[in-house]
Amino acid sequence: MDDLGFFKFIWRFNALALAGILVLVAGVFTWQVVLKDVLRDRSAREVVNIDPEDTTLVETRVIRVNGPVAGQGLFRVSLVAEQGYDSGYASKDTYDSVLNTGFYDPSTGVTRWVFSGNEQLITNVEGLYGETPGEQRVKDRPVRGYLLTFVDQDSSGDRRLSHSDRKSVMALGPDGQGGTVILSDLTAAPQIWGLEGGAVVLFYEKDGARFSAQYDPDTGTLGRVSEILYP
């Protein structure tokens, strides 16, 4: 073999070796992408699959006791769903999805549910409390009412109810009655703060702006609403 033939052989060998390395790298990268998708976390909290065409959906529902309602002789309970369904290369599980909440009277065995159906996702139930009477414990403060944040529309279009959808806020009396929607179409969950004198302030986002609104638990009415402006 002359020098020219030898160098051609070396060049071809190097080209084949380089091509093999590139194929190997591409294969490893592809496998990592696929493996990452297969093995990624497929459990989600507070998500409800509402796809009517999903034949793989399996759902389990349980009733959870949240605790006593001070001063009412009632217990607040929740209907909680766990779901499993196919998603991509593997199955997906959801848990802690509250579909409804109610007030159970142990003396009668009757539960008064807030919603007549179970087609929503409740993301938060905020108790509004009065002053601590005497030497009683803080947790025994009388309940003045509740503010319930929920999702009942698939505004994101992904056939799921989740925190990414628009939210509404419902005001309830201390016994769970008088449910009235006081805010709707919120893009983020509201922040709820108490003021001296018993008033409550809600901070929320809607249509790209930030607002505050005062709420009176005793009358169940929403007061002054103000937009928080940029400087």
Distance of CA 14 to the CA centre of its chain: 56
Q: Which residues contact 6 (CB under 8 A, 6 or more apart)?
A: none
| pTM (two decimals) | 0.77
Residue-wise DSSP of 30-48: HHHHHHHHHHS--EEES-E
Contact 161, 120 (CB under 8 A): yes
Tell whether the torsion through CA atoms of 91, 50, 167 and 88 is positive or negative. positive
Q: What is the pLDDT along the chain (231 residues), one digit of tens a residue?
A: 555 555 555 656 566 667 667 767 666 555 555 445 544 557 888 899 999 888 888 999 999 999 999 889 999 999 999 998 877 656 778 889 999 999 999 999 999 999 999 999 999 999 998 765 555 565 667 889 999 999 999 999 999 999 999 999 999 999 999 999 999 999 999 999 988 778 899 999 999 999 999 999 988 889 999 999 999
Instruction: Tell me which H or E stretch contains 145.
Output: strand 143-151
